Amino acid sequence: MSGGGAAPAPDLIDQARIAFDRALQRNIKGIGYFTSPAPVLGASPKDVLIQRGTMNLYHYRPMADEVYRVPLLLVMATTNRGYVFDMVPGQSLVEFLLKAGYDVFMLDWSPPRADEKHLGLADYVLDFIPACVARIAEETGEDELTVVGYCFGGVLSVLWAALHADGPMKNLVCFTTPVDFSRMELFQAWADKRFFDVDRLIDTFGNCPADMLYAAFDLLRPAGRIAGNIRLWDNMWNDDFVKSYRMFDRWTSDMLPLAGQYFRETPRQLIWDNQLMEGGMTVAGRPVDLARITAPFLHVVAEHDHIVPYAASHPLIDKVGSADKEEVVLKGGHVSLVAGANAIRRLWPRLDEWLQERST
Amino acid sequence: MVSPTPPDPAAFFRDMLGQWENAANEFGANLMKSGEFARTVQGATTISLKAQEAAHEAMSRALAAANMPSRSEVADIAARLQGVEERLARIEALLSALAGDRGAAAPATPARPKPKRTKVPPPRKKPA
């Protein structure tokens, strides 16, 4: 925010002039909005190290002559595309990390194919993440790495970390990662086991359709879309606002289907039985104990997160067994925590500060 | 003397929009938390799924009678083909790597130089 004094209040004539000017701009730029292409997202130069069905491992090309020893793996949530971390130049967490001297990899997801409906939680935790970790070790020659998981990517990361406590993880960072699913009240209501027949859903579709997930996320804020469209019209004169709106609108509507078996397991284990919080969580029969995670741990949660409320993510810090652990609560919502102007100002420098001394 | 700030109808409108959005979201959330809502939505979903199952079954029977593959069978074949292509790409990459190791063929593009992994954190600023 500017440190100077408040600008003098415009008089009535000035206000009318500004309103007229903006109305004119809205009409001119409104036409441009519908005729211009959407911004290109996720375009930081990268190499695809693994492309296996739904799993993709990217290695971003370094932007510094010297990097920290410990490579960094971003683990994306399975419901969305990883380009939320790499929107456009100047608004890309990946670019920020590369310029700050990190060697950045990302585990990103493609829509699971029809023949991948059998993929379950065990495939994600005991196959996909270990395959990426092994490939990163091969690529970098380093036997340690930092894992950064976002939302359900964080859940997968903590499950993997707990089951590989003696493994190569040097640091673990989670962004807004749920652990107490009983506090995700709307998801609890919608997945009420008295009415929600997950088996019928998956038997019919094979994989859980992205449209269904999109509708569920949209319903979390039923007035959000209408208010968002009105705000877009109001700010149509403002190029920065429109650019940001288009980026986020494209990302939020670009949801991924979920593999059938994976979608069968998650409501049962996490939403109905709340196993990660209450105990009893297993992956392929192997018991998960989050206290076995002893690597330095940072959990960043958003103050106004409507998808993973603070109450659902906060208990993670107590569950993890690390001596060096910290929870940071930042202003923002589920998405603005990691991308956009709010993230650039708050999360990114905080993350860099925490990682620097732990990445050598 | 400071002149009074004229009222800004646009600011008033934005404030009202924010208040309406919060109120509508809260009302919607409370409504959707109820068991009645869950029962109604899941009931509608079940009916829709049953209808889709029935339509799918009828279509499969019709296509089988016409000796034609169903959509899911074509999708399965496409997925398997994609899997075979991916496996071929992996074998190809492996063969190229093996050939490169034996000096049989030079790599098409020279490997990019890798940055040194020696970076250390910048010195911390002393508190003022």
Q: Could you read off the pLDDT of A168-181 as tens digits, one per residue? A: 999 999 999 999 99
Alpha helices, H only, A197-271: 198-205, 210-219, 224-234, 239-253, 260-266
Architecture of domain A46-356: 3-Layer(aba) Sandwich (3.40)
Q: How many domains does chain B have?
A: 2
What pLDDT does A238 receive? 85
pLDDT in tens, A190-225: 888 888 889 988 988 889 999 888 888 888 888 888
pLDDT in tens, A147-174: 999 999 999 999 999 999 888 999 999 9
Asked if residue A273 lies in contact with residue A139, where contact means CB atoms within 8 angstroms, the answer is: no
∠ CA A249-A251-A252, rounded to 5°: 65
* ipTM summary value: 0.73
Gyration radius of chain A's alpha carbons: 22
pLDDT at B68 over 70: yes
Q: Which residue has the higher pLDDT, B1 or A174?
A: A174
CA-based torsion, B57, A195, B39, A221: positive or negative: negative
Shared domain check, B99 and B82: yes
A53/B5 CB distance under 8 A: no
In a domain, B3, yes or no: no
A224/B37 CB distance under 8 A: no
CA-based torsion, A259, A265, A270, A272: positive or negative: positive
Decide if B77 touches A, using CB distance below 8 A.
Answer: no
Spans of all domains in chain A: 46-356
Owning domain of residue B64: 12-68
In a domain, B108, yes or no: no
Q: What is the mean pLDDT of residues B95-111?
A: 65
The pTM of this model reads 0.83
What pLDDT does A305 receive? 92
Q: What is the mean pLDDT of residues B29-38?
A: 82
Residue with tokens 């408040």: A6
pLDDT in tens, A42-76: 889 999 999 888 999 999 999 999 999 999 999 99
In a domain, B126, yes or no: no
pLDDT at A3 over 50: no
pLDDT at B127 over 80: no
Shared domain check, B77 and B32: no
| Among chain A residues, CA nearest to B30 | A186
B118/A66 CB distance under 8 A: yes
Is residue A18 helix, strand or coil?
A: helix
Range 165-184 of A in CB contact (< 8 A) with B: none
Asked if residue A102 lies in contact with residue A355, where contact means CB atoms within 8 angstroms, the answer is: yes
Chain A contact probe: residue of B1, B42, B48, B57 with most A CBs at under 10 A: B42
Average pLDDT of chain A is 90
The alpha-carbon gap from B118 to the nearest alpha carbon of chain A, in Å, equals 6
pLDDT in tens, A72-115: 999 999 999 999 999 999 999 999 999 999 999 999 999 998 88
Shared domain check, B85 and B52: no
Neighbours of B21 (CB within 10 A): 19
pLDDT in tens, A242-291: 888 888 888 988 999 999 999 999 999 999 999 999 999 999 999 999 99
In a domain, B56, yes or no: yes
pLDDT in tens, A297-322: 999 999 999 999 999 999 999 999 99
What pLDDT does B125 receive? 72
Decide if B1 touches A, using CB distance below 8 A.
Answer: no
In a domain, B17, yes or no: yes
Do you know the residue count of chain B?
128
